[in-house]
Structures are given as C-alpha cells and as structure tokens.
Amino acid sequence: MRKILLTAALLAPVLLQQVAAQNRQISGRVTDRSSGQGLPGVTVLVKGTTVGVSTNSDGSYTISAPSTATTLTFSSIGFVPVERPIGTESTIDIGLATDSKVLNEVIVTAQNVERTRNSLPYAATQVDGENITKARNPSFINGLSGKVAGVNIRQSNGIGGSSNILIRGTSSLFGNNQPLFVVDGVPISNANTNTAGQQTGRGGYDYGNAATDINPDDIASTTILKGAAATALYGERAGNGVIIITTKKGRKGIGVTINTGATGGRIDRSTFMKYQKEYGAGYGTYYEDASGFFLSRDIDGDGVEDLVAPLSEDASYGARFDPNLNVYQWDAFDPSSPNFGKARPWVAADNGPEAFFKTALTLNNSVIVDGGTENGTFKLGYTSIRDKGVLENSEVNKNILNFGGSLNLTPKITVSSSVNYSRVDGKGRYGTGYGDGNVMTNFRQWWQTNVDLKEQKAAFERTGRNVTYNFADPTNLTPIYWNNPYWVRNKNFETDSRNRIFGNAAATYKVTDWFNVLGRVSVDSYDEVQEERIAIGSVGLSNYSRFNRTSREYNYDLIGNFSKNINESISLRGLLGANVRRQQFSSIFAETNGGLIVPDLYSLSNSVSDPVPPIEDETRVGVDGIFASATLGFREMVFVDLTVRRDKSTTLPSSNNTFVYPSAAVGFVFSELLKDVSWLSYGKVRANYAEVGQGADPQSVLTNYSKVTTYNSNPLFSLPGTRNNPDLKPLRTKSSEAGIEMNFLRNRVGFDFTVYQRNTIDQILPITLSTATGYNSRFVNSGEVRNRGVEISGFVTPVKLADFSWTVNANWTRNRNEVLSLFGDFDNIVLATYQGGVSSNYAIGQPAGIIRGANLVYKDGQKVVGANGYYAQTVSSNEIIGDPNPEWTAGVTNTFNYKGIGFYFLLDIRKGGDIFSLDRYYGLATGMQPETAGLNDLGNPSRLPISEGGGVILPGVLADGTPNTKRVSNTNFGLYGYRRNPAGAFVYDGGFVKLREVSLSYSLPTSIVSKFGAIRGVDFSVVGRNLWILHKNLPDADPEDALSSGNRGQGYSSGSFPAVRTLGGNIRLSF
C-alpha cells in the first residue's frame, strides 16, 4: 500500500503538467478586501464548468482553465461572491468583501445534518482541522484542549496515554461520562481497556483512548454538541455530548498533499522531583555502627569493621554526605563493577533520576491523494506516526489508511463510502500508579540520593541482569523492594497491538427536489492484544499475562430528509429515521501461575504450575431506535426545533427497556429586525429543553454464575459480589439551556454566552448490602446529580490592516456540580479507595468525586500543633479534604498574520481542582526532597539532634491560638510525610496556566510557487507544545497528568510523569 501511495504521489505532478499543457494556467491570490490578508479555502471555479480549486493557506491558487473559459468565480462563506472576466490575463488577484449581514457558516449537527449557524437554537462549537493540527499533536483529542468552552480535557503524560474528556461536568455517578464520537456519521468506540487497578493507582498500564485511532491530518472539522437538545437524535449514548468529526473529501481535478514533520521533546524540570544533596541512604539512626547510620561489616577481611550503606532501605534520611568518609555501596558487591570490593567517598550522586529521561521523538508523515470529476470525488490518505517516549524502550507506532468517495450514479442516486483502517503497535508503555512497574514510584517516593543512575545503567548493560542498588544484604544480592530501573524498562515491558477498521457505505435517493432518502450501513470493528511481563529475577514473582479483546459494532440507518420553503417567509426541514445497532464484545484473559520456568520465554505454557483458568467474557447489546425532527423557520429570523427519539435496549429488563425522550428549542435572529444598526453585524437568542435516556451497562439485570478455580479437579461456580437488578430503569437526563450570540463592527468582535442546567436522575448505583445476604452490593435506580454553569466564548480582531491582522479568541467555563440525592438513608457512597488513606466519594450536597481522608486541624486558618510538637489531626479519617472539579477553565488564542507569515499561541488555564499527591505523602517522609533538609531557624542543619541545635519548630498555633514554640526532631524519617501528617496535608490546588501550543508558519508566495510547475503550495511551520507552565501550585509535578480516563482516579496522583516540552517542524506540499 505504501508503494501504491508513493507512486501516486510521484505521478501526480506529471499528470498535472500534461493537463496544464492543454489548458491555460491562471494563478493569483485571494485576500480579505478590508485587511489584505490572504484567505484560505476560497472556492475558485471556471464559470459554466466543474473545474475548480481551493486557495491555500495564504490565499494563493493556480487553476488550469479550458481554452474556452471566459470567467472565474470566487466564493467563500461569510464573503460576497465575485465574478471576474479572464481576458488574456494569466494572473488574477481578487479581494473579497465581508458579507456583514449574513452569518451562514455551515455546521455539521446530529445525524450528519448540515445547518447554517444562524438556524441553530442550541450551543455548538466547530473547530476546523487546521486549528486542531496546528501544533502537530498526535492525538486530536488533546488538540482540542483549551479551544472549546464547556469541554474539560485532562491529559496523560504517558506515551499514547488516555485523556479524560468531560462536557459540562460529571452526570453519571458510576456510568460512562465520556462523549459519543461520530466520524462521518459513524458512531465509534472511545473505549479504554485499562484495568480497575490501574484506574485506582495500583499499577498497570494506560493503553489510551480508542478514539485516538482517528487520523488528525484527515479531519476537516470537528463539531462539539454539548446539550441534550443538540444530541438527542443520536440516542441513549449521547447524553454526555457528541464530538462529530467530518473528514476531508475529494475535490474535482487531481490533487496531492504531503505532510512531513518531526518533533523532539524533553521533560519540563518544573514538573519533576528536586532532590536534597545533603544526606544519603537510610531511615535514620537505626543501624549497627556507632553513628547509627550505617551497617557495620568487615568487608575487606582486615578484622576492622567497615561502613556499609543500608542497602535494603529505600529512603534518604541517612548519614550526612562527607567526601572524607569512605563507604561500601551497592556496586562494591557487584563483581562486574569497577568498584567491586571498594569503598567510595560518601557523596551525593552526580546523576540523579533526572538523568533517566531521554529525548522524545515523534515522526509524523502523511500523504493524501484526491480527485474527481463532475460525477464524483475520491480521497485516499495514509499517515504514519512514530512516537518514542522519554523513557527507555518506549514507543507507539500508528499506521492509518483512509478512503472516502462519492459517485452520482444517476441524477437521483448518489452512493458514498468512507473506510478507515488503523494499526497501533505499542511497546514499553509507561507503568502507572504505585508499584515497581512504574519507575516514577521509585524516583518520587522511595529513593537513595547517593545512587547514580548512569552507574545503574552501566551495571545493566554490562551484565544484562537485575543489578539493583536495593538488595537485601551484602550477602544476599536479591532485589528486596526495587529493581534496577533499566531492568524494569527493558525486561518488564508490555506490548500491545490493535487492528481497527471503521467506516460506512451509503446510498441517497433524491425523490423530489425537497425530499431524499438515505440508507447507510456502518461498522466499527477492532481486535486488540495486550501482553504484560515480569522477568525472572525481578522483585516478586515472574509472570506473563495476555489479554485478547474484540469489539464489533454495526449500525443500520434509514433516514428520510426533507427541506422545503412553504412560501417566501416559512421554511420547513426535518427528518424521520430508524436506527438498528448491534454490538458484540468478547475478551479472554489468561496468565501464568507460580512463576516462569525458562527466562525470557513469554508464553502461557512456560508456567511453573498450571496456568490460572482464563477469564472469559462475551457481551451482546442491541438497541433499536426511531427518531424524528422538524425545524420551522420564519423569514430566516425565527427557528423552532422539535425532536423525539424512542430507544429499545437489551441492557434493560423487558418491562423498562423502551424509553422516549423529546426536545424543543427556539432561536430568534433579532439582528434581522435591526438591519439599520450599522455597528451590529449579527445577533441571536436561543433557548431549549430536552430529555435523554441512557441504558444500563451490559449484564446489570440478571445475576449469573461465574466459573472460578477448580477444587480437587471439580469445577466450581460462584455468584458475583454485586447483585443485579431485574427491575432497572434507564438513567434520565433533563437539560435546559439559554444563550445569546452577538457580532459587532463588521464581525470583528463577537461573543457567545450560554447558561445551562442538567439534572440526571434515576442513577444506576451499587448500594452496599449486609454480607449476610450473600452479596456485597446491589444495583438500584436512585439518586440525582445537577450540573449548571456558564460558558462564554468570544473573539476580537484588534488590528486588521492591508498586510497584517491580529485576532484573539477566548473561552471561559464555570460548571457547578452537586449530588442532590442518593438512595434511602445513604448520604455518601464511595466510588473508589486509594493508597494513602483517601477515597473518591459521592455525598449529598457536595460536588461529584470529593476526596475524603484524615485532615489537619485548623484554628482561624492556621494549622494547630499538638502538645507533642507535631500537627494535630482530625479524629475522623472521613473528612472532606478536596474537590477534584475545577472552579473554572479558560483558553486564549492569539493569531497574527503578516502576508504569508503566521504566528499563533494558545494559553490553557484551569482554576482549582484539588489533587491528593501520594508522591508527596511518601516522598517527604523518606527525606528525598529539599524541604526535609537544610538549615533550621537557628541556622543549624535541621537533621542534627536537638541537643546539638538541630530540629525544627513547625509553623502553626497551639489549641489556644498561641504560636507553637516546641522543637521536634528531624533526625529520623517521617516528620514531613505520612508518618506524622494526615492525608489532608498532601492535597494541593491543581490549577495551572500553560503555554499549550505555539506555531510559526510561512507560506511561499505564488510568485515563487508558480516556478515549481505542478506544486500549488509550500508551507513551513515550527511548532511547540507545552513549552511553559506559567503558573501551578502542585510542587514538582504536572497538575494535569491524569492517572486514567473515567470517573475513578480523578484528583489522585501517584508516580506522576513529568510534562514533556516538544518542539519541531513541519513541511506541507500541495500539488
């Protein structure tokens, strides 16, 4: 396939030159008449023919016109179309005037219906593909971050990691809150197959969102539908919003576009640990030598006890560094080391954990071939993304092939098809959460500051063995807590692959000029394999596991569309349709038992004992839906929308499996009554109300037995811990929204203001039961969650000159989430518990997902210190200590254009959103961080004994409000960490201000490009992502780094990865 695409790319210029020899070549540039700025995407047609092109990014074009051509037409949405006689000219430049009284940008809405913006009675935001890929982000989801009001995206810093996407807050307490993704009318999966343990910080890998299989370079536009009135036609999966992706289409003639780019990345040091350089390994004065800081052994056999570092420890509360003190360290016991049998000066390592990170590299290359005639168009594209992370042995490679085409079989029948194939291969994805599989746990929580990472690397490369700094004893070199980090990355790695195909085939029959019927079949199918390894010689038991999963979704649609002007004032358009959806999921998980027999052989048959019986699952889901909508328009000024949908779902009992949800909306374009007001370009008010239902998760109705491990070769079956409910009803959401849109000064200033409220009732909750019932919990319908908020987006063009323009776009969102009720007498339900004594909870009167744990005691805003000199703690370990929901989010983009030069940057802002840091909880206790060392108020080292002027006085007050004056010891571990402080002491504000994206681009002018023959455009760009965190409150970490997507794990940080600053370049050639 690559050879075919390459051949097409190479032949295209030759074909175009042959065509050019028979026709006239006309070139030029289309600009905005008021500013002189080039206009991209303007349609240039030879009047009376189907020959046409679109202008490139700086407004330049070249068109091959027949010798008989007399006139060119120039048209673009929002501008007055122009016709220009050709005459004998070979260069035609044109300026288009803004149509200040018409705002008819086309928006793709539910069921792929295109509508003009002025006719929409609900909030919808469209982002074009150029804006999504401007910084060349390999994930189009992350490319939306900070650009859309009401959309909160929290990214993972892991390679190929998942992103959590919320539109207008959390609605379903235990269900899915992610939006529905639709590509060219095809609903596609955005599943995340991370384990439950991974989502609660207990290790595992982040395998990313399935929606990232979409090729960013193939996106023409993305529409975000937020409220239920906008999404109801998509059915029960659309209650959390819909992200509609429209891919690029072919155009008449022949065209080839080639993109090639590379970006490199280094970690942002402000988001990684800082280490104290004063003290080494140990937990304090607990050991054998006279000082209490070292082991005492006769290593060299001279009969004199030698100093040996406490090798089995994983903390840095040991002896003060002294270059005159010689100590036997880990490499003194490694026979392959140059330091074998040698004591070395007791000094801090020259190469700490920051030396572990490599330079990330992403190669992104694509080619798109498109063409067509008056009867049809096609587009064929291929994209290769090679992504290497900042950790050893980490890469994710994507190969994406897509095709789209349409053909007019007859004047009444049009057929079309869209097919996307992707292959994703991962190796060495980052381990997450708490555990040896995640080297960040070691680096951030349990580390010896005397250990040099380059020496650990050399030891692994010399031996190929797990030569760790952390072994049990000088006589027992078995790893005790932590492996050599290079062993972890090169031996205990995962591999994964996903083959996926999604697309559709459709036929449209034009019954009359105002009525057509669409029949469409679509499919989304993928198979994935995930393999995880723990090598022989690692901490813990060696292991191999394999997870195979298949997913199939088929949709069958029959839709009748009508659009008719009843008279000069009244228009009526709408649709009537039916949808049949069938889904099939199957999976099998198997792993070895008792360890592996043969090193480096990873198969289930290499198990010491019989492999654990596989866990198999098969699920089938069916939903049948019928839907209708109607839009009544009056003088292009008043628009009334009505929709209704009925779904019947197999995930609910037959008595409750049919549910109906309606919507009603109205929009009033009041600027149509104020045409004489010169400063008002456009104005509209809108309001809507809608209800939408959502079925239960599969297998929530009937309680089934599961097969467990056999007993004496006899098969055993058991009931699950949760009792299902044969009387479940659908979850329902009631949504209302109102807004106003206004543009001023010939559309140079504008805003969109929206207020909304969304109440979700009949939540499907797991309620705790007495174990005497034989179950731990059961599903019930109960509970209500309310989200209400404000969204503001706006733009202004402060400068618009002949050769220069400056445009600012901004958005701001504030969502308030509250749990209004739960079930019976329950006032709190635990979503998940985490290491560190904290949990995520739903509590009446509180935002969703609040963090509970023990807290500090405060008096008048100051920490209370107990009589022992340490901070006082609450009696209860169930205090509310944090809220992970942000207070508000915002994004600001600035775009500057000067002739063919463009400069753009995006600021992404989040205010609030609490985070509990397990890294600080443990890392401060183990003495790695600078605040655990240094000088005290007396000017003495704080780790000296109090009798020698050491110790610290913790800032705070006594219970009576007087200042604390009691000095406490800092000689041994725990003063600043979990041992002496509750979980609430490690909750931080997760707000930030980030320079998210930067792009500097240049388009070669037509005068130069025209000399290259068939080339229509050449564009260069330098791009950067996450270049600077201007502000954050979470120390030494990225507050945005997400543990996983979904409800669990939000507001919890463990083994956090640093942010990566990336900088690169891209070249685009258009033929």
- Cα–Cα distance between 399 and 760 in angstroms, integer? 40
**Mean pLDDT on 6-18:** 41
% residues pLDDT > 90 (the chain): 69
Q: 243-288: per-residue pLDDT in tens?
A: 999 998 887 788 899 999 999 999 999 999 999 999 999 999 999 9
Token duo for residue 545: 């596991």
What local confidence, expressed as pLDDT, does residue 711 receive? 67
Residue 21 has pLDDT above 60, yes or no: no
Q: 835-849: per-residue pLDDT in tens?
A: 999 999 999 999 999
User: HEC string of 70-97?
Assistant: CEEEEECCCECCEEEECCCCCECCEEEC
Give the count of alpha carbons within 13 A of 935, CB side only.
4
Residue 1000 has pLDDT above 80, yes or no: yes
* Structural domains present in the chain: 2-96 (2.60.40.1120), 186-266+360-435+485-918+990-1070 (2.40.170.20), 278-347+447-477 (no CATH)
Structure-token match 């659908």, residue found: 730
Q: Which helix (H) or strand (E) holds 398?
A: strand 395-408
Whole-model pTM: value is 0.88
Q: 869-889: per-residue pLDDT in tens?
A: 999 999 999 999 999 999 999
Name residues whose C-beta falls within 8 Å of residue 214's C-beta, 6 or more positions apart in sequence: 140, 181, 183, 188, 245, 420
What local confidence, expressed as pLDDT, does residue 104 receive? 61
Residues 1032, 1035, 1036, 1041: what is their CA dihedral angle, to the nearest 10 degrees?
Answer: -60
Token duo for residue 840: 């995520």
Name residues whose C-beta falls within 8 Å of residue 913's C-beta, 6 or more positions apart in sequence: 883, 884, 885, 886, 887, 989, 990, 991, 1039, 1051
Work out whether strand 914-917 and strand 1052-1053 pair parallel, antiparallel, or are unpaired. parallel
Residue 1066 has pLDDT above 90, yes or no: yes
Residue from 819, 816, 818, 837 nearest 829 by CA:
819
Give the count of alpha carbons within 13 A of 189, CB side only.
23
Residue from 18, 31, 29 nearest 64 by CA:
18
**Mean pLDDT on 410-439:** 94
Token duo for residue 1016: 């229509």
Which residues, in sequence order, are bridge partners of residue 82?
Answer: 74
Q: 31-66: per-residue pLDDT in tens?
A: 877 666 778 778 888 887 767 787 876 788 888 888
Q: 755-800: per-residue pLDDT in tens?
A: 999 999 999 888 887 777 778 888 899 999 999 999 999 999 999 8
Work out whether strand 494-512 and strand 413-427 pair parallel, antiparallel, or are unpaired. antiparallel
- Cα–Cα distance between 471 and 243 in angstroms, integer? 51
**Mean pLDDT on 515-537:** 96
Residue 385 has pLDDT above 50, yes or no: yes
pLDDT band at 17 (very low <50, low <70, confident <90, very high): very low
Name residues whose C-beta falls within 8 Å of residue 1013's C-beta, 6 or more positions apart in sequence: 13, 17
Q: 708-732: per-residue pLDDT in tens?
A: 666 676 777 777 778 888 888 889 9
% residues pLDDT > 70 (the chain): 96
Q: Tell me which of 26-35, 164-173, 340-349 is least confident.
A: 26-35
What local confidence, expressed as pLDDT, does residue 134 receive? 86
At residue 2, the 3 state secondary structure works out as helix
What local confidence, expressed as pLDDT, does residue 10 receive? 40
**Mean pLDDT on 617-637:** 94
- Cα–Cα distance between 397 and 427 in angstroms, integer? 9
What local confidence, expressed as pLDDT, does residue 98 receive? 67
Q: Tell me which of 124-133, 524-533, 697-706, 899-908 is least confident.
A: 697-706
Q: 551-583: per-residue pLDDT in tens?
A: 999 999 999 999 999 998 999 999 999 999 999
**Based on the number of CB atoms within 10 Å of its own CB, is 319 exposed (0-12), middle (13-18) or buried (19 or more)?**
buried
Token duo for residue 474: 């000088």
- Cα–Cα distance between 66 and 21 in angstroms, integer? 11
| Maximum Cα–Cα distance across the chain | 109
**Based on the number of CB atoms within 10 Å of its own CB, is 715 exposed (0-12), middle (13-18) or buried (19 or more)?**
exposed
Q: 481-498: per-residue pLDDT in tens?
A: 999 999 999 999 999 999
Structure-token match 């050019």, residue found: 20
At residue 241, the 3 state secondary structure works out as coil
Q: 911-967: per-residue pLDDT in tens?
A: 999 999 999 999 999 999 999 999 999 999 999 999 999 999 999 999 999 999 999
Residue 373 has pLDDT above 90, yes or no: no
Mean confidence (pLDDT) of the chain: 91
Token duo for residue 740: 């106003």
Write the Ramachandran bin of 13: left for phi over 0, alpha for psi from -120 to 50, otherwise beta: alpha
Residue 120 has pLDDT above 80, yes or no: yes
Q: 250-262: per-residue pLDDT in tens?
A: 877 888 999 999 9
How far is C-alpha 132 from the geometric centre of its chain's CA atoms? 13
Name residues whose C-beta falls within 8 Å of residue 193's C-beta, 6 or more positions apart in sequence: 207, 528, 530, 547, 549
pLDDT band at 905 (very low <50, low <70, confident <90, very high): very high
Residue 110 has pLDDT above 50, yes or no: yes
Name residues whose C-beta falls within 8 Å of residue 199's C-beta, 6 or more positions apart in sequence: 832, 1043, 1044, 1046, 1048, 1049
Q: Which helix (H) or strand (E) holds 648?
A: strand 638-649
Residue 99 φ/ψ, nearest 5 degrees: -85, 90
DSSP state of 456: H
Residue 829 has pLDDT above 60, yes or no: yes
Regarding predicted confidence, which is higher, 156 or 938? Answer: 938
